[in-house]
Amino acid sequence: MVTIHKTNIEKAYDTAMEKAKKYQHPVLFSIVEKIDSVDPLSFYNEGISLFKGTRFLWKDRDHTITIAGLGSTKTISTEDDRDQFFAVEKEWKRFINEGVILSPENWIGTGPLLFGGFRFDPLNKRSLEWNDFENGTLQVPSFMLTKSKEADYLTLNMLCGPEHDEESLNEMIFLKDEIIRKAKFPSVPEEASVINIEDYKPQEWKNSVQNVVDELKDGEMEKVVLARKCKVSFEAPITSDFVLDNLWKQQPDSFIFSFEQNKSCFIGATPERLVKKTGEEVLSTCLAGSIARGSSLDEDEKFGEELLNDEKNRYEHHLVVENIHQALEPFCNELSMPAKPGLMKMKDIQHLYTPVVGRAAAQTSLLNMIEKLHPTPALGGVPRDRALHVIRQEEKMDRGLYAGPVGWMDAYGNGEFAVAIRSGLLHEDESYLYAGCGIVADSDPESEFLETQMKFRSMLRALGGNIHG
């Protein structure tokens, strides 16, 4: 990778051309600049006519960064389940090493950046609704807005190669300026009305929970996370812009993500971080164990106390803490977490929460950690392989990207992936929502069912479904 800290576009472009000649194929040319503040939702919406099907948006739950991407300069996808994280890492490194980045500084989350997600279980049978996504689907956008606490940045990524000429560079720069200019006007996404909400075989799901409880009582497994889906139909095709706008307003303390591929969009607002890496700093989150929000402050606190002292939920949570600690330990020189969980309160639900902080050893990449972490017992179970086998048998559905890792990484090794829960798939005038819960030997099918209902609420509300509050 050649990083040129000068604003000499022509010179940098010539360097990229020389590299392309040397490699005999087009190489990445990336330009980063600081810009005046732009609203990320307007930027995303501005891309609807030219880039629908290739847009993404990410906002973290700590409000440190928002990234919106339009277009696709490069796609990295994995078909094969074996070593898929390694395969992505290898292709990504080669792509950035061969390219040229023109940037005044290596600002976090700017320049060439890979955004995308991985299927929860690449070994499970695929169903039609997930056809627009591969096992791993990641892309480098053509135009990207990065909004950090310090400033707003615009990245332009393009391929430059023997058969590309300077005219395409000028066209891209013109288009970039147009997008920024138009994104200054606030966006008003088009609404679509819900006409039907259908739960998939609720009784069968409760029976599956009972089957799993019976198996857990045998004592060979400790936890299995079972999920279910519901289908929401609209009177007209629904745009991700509308849902994103709602999530943005309704779930300020979640990771918000939207990931369009062709005619589908995977979208959600999840409270759960899988792993974040900034320089050497590593953050992860153990999140498992749930209870409703109270209707008054007193009731809410009472529920919180109940959750903190509930043995079944503490056990659900403990398994996640133990497993995440084990997974990260080999990668970190320091690793610490509080001895007891606290509470994380979302709009519709509260969870037991244990933050994890570490310092990564040299050469540790985000993808190395994701490979070991995913799926944590918050979404898979203990022991992992046995739980995955039970999930395939009992759920009888394809989770797709739900519960998988979704997020981004930049060319400097920074990035963040969340666990894609509280999420759904939009496809034309239909949408599929997914929610699950941790089943342990003490689980009761009826209360687990109610827990999934609470977990559907955030997405149902964002789709314009009839939710009170």
Output the smallest distance, CB 233 to ligand ISJ, in A.
Answer: 21
Measured between alpha carbons, how far is 277 from 146 in angstroms, rounded to an integer?
A: 17
For ligand ISJ, give the closer residue by CB, 294 or 413.
294
Q: Are 57 and 418 in contact (CB under 8 A)?
A: no
Closest CA to 59 of 278, 276, 248: 248
Phi and psi torsions of 147, nearest 5°: -115, 110
422 binds, among Mg ion, ligand ISJ, none (CB under 5 to 8 A by kind): ligand ISJ
Nearer to Mg ion, 20 or 437 (CB): 437
> Active-site residue 223, yes or no?
yes
Alpha carbon distance 68, 41 (integer Å): 8
Q: Which of 113, 213, 373, 378 is the binder for ligand ISJ (CB under 6 A)?
A: 378
316 labeled part of a ligand binding site: yes
- Work out how close the CB of 81 gets to ligand ISJ at its nearest, in angstroms, rounded to a whole number: 22
Nearer to ligand ISJ, 39 or 316 (CB): 316
Task: Find where tokens 């989150």 sit.
Answer: 285
Q: How far is the CB of 196 from Mg ion (least distance, A)?
A: 28
| Residue choice 288, 324, 382, 411 for contact with ligand ISJ (CB under 6 A) | 288
Of 266, 196, 198, 200, nearest to 234 by C-alpha is 196
Question: CA of 248: how far to CAs of 44, 245, 258, 270, in Å?
Answer: 13, 5, 11, 12
Nearer to Mg ion (CB atom), residue 77 or residue 453: 453
Q: How far apart are CA 302 and CA 292, in angstroms?
A: 11
CB of 464 to Mg ion, least distance (A): 27
351 binds, among ligand ISJ, Mg ion, none (CB under 5 to 8 A by kind): ligand ISJ
**Is 129 labelled a binding residue?**
no
Instruction: Pick the stretch among 186-194, 253-261, 288-296, 364-372 that binds ligand ISJ (CB under 6 A).
Output: 288-296
User: Is 16 among the residues that bind ligand ISJ (CB under 6 A)?
Assistant: no
3, two tokens: 């990083």
User: Residue 92 has which token pair?
Assistant: 């990504």
What are the φ/ψ torsions at residue 86 (nearest 5 degrees)? -65, -40
Q: Supply 350's token pair.
A: 């509260």
Residue-wise over 340-378: b if at least 16 C-beta within 10 A, else e?
ebebbebbbbbbbbbbbebebeeebbbbbbbbbbbbbbb
Site string for ligand ISJ, 42-81 (x = CB under 6 A): ----------------------------------------
List the interface residues with ligand ISJ, window 418-447 (CB under 6 A): 421-422, 435-438
Residues that bind Mg ion (CB under 5 A): 290, 437-438
CA distance 189 to 175: 22
Choose the binding region for ligand ISJ from 148-156, 167-175, 281-289, 327-335 (rule: CB under 6 A). Answer: 281-289
Number of residues that bind ligand ISJ (CB under 6 A): 18
Stretch that binds ligand ISJ, among 71-79, 100-108, 206-214, 287-295 (CB under 6 A): 287-295
- Check residue 225 for interaction with ligand ISJ (CB under 6 A): yes
Alpha carbon separation from 221 to 209, 229, 446 (Å, rounded): 14, 24, 21
> One of 19, 223, 276, 455 is an active-site residue; which one?
223
Residues with Cβ within 8 Å of 354's Cβ and at least 6 positions away in sequence, in order, are 285, 286, 287, 317, 320, 321, 337, 338, 340, 341, 342
**134, 260, 272, 394: which one is catalytic?**
272
| Nearest residue (CB) to Mg ion, 268 versus 438 | 438
- Residue 428: phi, psi to the nearest 5? 50, -115
CB 29, CB 12: distance < 8 Å: yes
Q: What gap in Å lies between CA 113 and CA 115, rounded to an integer?
A: 6
Stretch that binds ligand ISJ, among 58-66, 196-204, 258-266, 282-290 (CB under 6 A): 282-290
Residue type, 29: F
Does the annotation count 272 as an active-site position?
yes
Name the site residues for ligand ISJ (rule: CB under 6 A). Answer: 225, 227, 272, 287-290, 316, 351, 378-379, 421-422, 435-438, 455
Q: Which residues are catalytic?
A: 223, 272
Binding residues: 316, 451
Binding residues for Mg(2+): 316, 451
